Amino acid sequence: MTPYHQLVSEYQRLLKEGRSYPLGAFKPAAHPKISTSAAKALFFAPHPDDECIVGGLAVRLMREARMNVINVAVTLGSKKERQAERLLELQNACEYLGFNLVSTGPNGLERINPKTREQDPAFWQACVSVVQRILQEHRPKVVLCPHDRDWNSTHIGTHFLVTDALKQMPKDFECYLVETEFWGAMTDPNLMVEICGEDLADMMAATTFHIGEVHRNPYHLLLPAWMMDNVRRGSEVAGGQGGAAPDFPFAVLYRLRIWSNGQARKLFDGGKQLPCSSNAEALFP
């Protein structure tokens, strides 16, 4: 036996113990009062629960930069019999985190995937117009959406839905574009954001409000391990090949660019790391 046998045993024990913890039964987490004139960050979530799983930067923007974070529910999932329930779960999760919520429609949008974009341009344009109107209404400083190879067809579809809508905004519209990853890792993330223990715990608790989803797959219990692996990978793919890993226990990887003149443009060379000791507002001057 080595100390590592004990460490692995503790990992297994905690994962098993976590399965007995309550789901969606918590009072809202403490969050700051946000001014009505605060800058806005729109998080375009392909499915209910994405806002909790990959939204670490959004949580930090709300808590540190005092930005008004608005989760845009692009879809409510493909199972029509679950859509009303998923919307309620989403409302509860956003209330817990302190995010505002905007829906693209009573049942969300349907068929948001690359195949629809290619084969049904009229329907696709109608969906793009919904997102464009949301962008026009809120004029966000920051837009978050999946990257274009995030494996899941709705995640990829949401990327193109948002970028197509951005292309239809007035030419003088500018915002920071933050691309997220979950199902498929980016080959070129340029930002590693440390997530402190309190924020991670709140993200896990918020994810449990998506009761139907975590019964199917315990995403909430696996978040710490995923974020630990992000530190391993991000130290080199975002920090530079051969780079030393920062002393982060947990992190999320993103690609940060600026949307200007109708396209995404490079904002800086190389990669950046945002430790918990720095205010997330520094990324978005």
Q: 14 to each of 19, 102, 215, 221, 225, how far by Cα in Å? A: 9, 36, 17, 9, 12
Residue 26 in any domain: the answer is no
Locate 158 and state its tokens.
Answer: 């949401």
pLDDT of res. 96: 98
Q: How far apart are CA 242 and CA 245, in angstroms?
A: 9
Question: Which CATH number covers residue 65?
Answer: 3.40.50.10320
In a domain, 23, yes or no: no
Full-model pTM: 0.96
Instruction: List, as one string, the DSSP characters of 141-162.
Output: SEEEEE-TT-SSHHHHHHHHHH
Q: For each of the chain's 285 residues, which pLDDT tens digit applies? A: 999 999 999 999 999 999 999 999 999 999 899 998 999 999 999 999 999 999 999 999 999 999 999 999 999 998 999 999 999 999 999 999 999 999 999 999 999 999 999 999 999 999 999 999 999 999 999 999 999 999 999 999 999 999 999 999 999 999 999 999 999 999 999 999 999 999 999 999 999 999 999 999 999 999 999 999 999 999 999 988 887 889 999 999 999 999 999 999 999 999 999 999 999 999 998
Integer angstrom CA distances of residue 20 from 17, 28, 169, 213: 6, 21, 48, 16
Q: Residue 85 in 3-state DSSP?
A: helix
Q: What is the domain count for the chain?
A: 1
Asked, for residue 28, whether it belongs to a domain, the answer is no
Domain range for 132 is 38-76+83-283
The answer to the question of residue 247 being in a domain is yes
Residue 128 lies in a domain: yes
Domain annotation covers residue 117: yes
Query: Does residue 2 form part of some domain?
Result: no
Q: Say if CB 128 and CB 168 are below 8 A apart.
A: yes
pLDDT value for 285: 86
Is 19 among the domain residues? Answer: no
- Which distant-in-sequence residues (6+ apart) come within 8 Å of 261 by Cβ? 171
Q: pLDDT at position 245, please?
A: 86
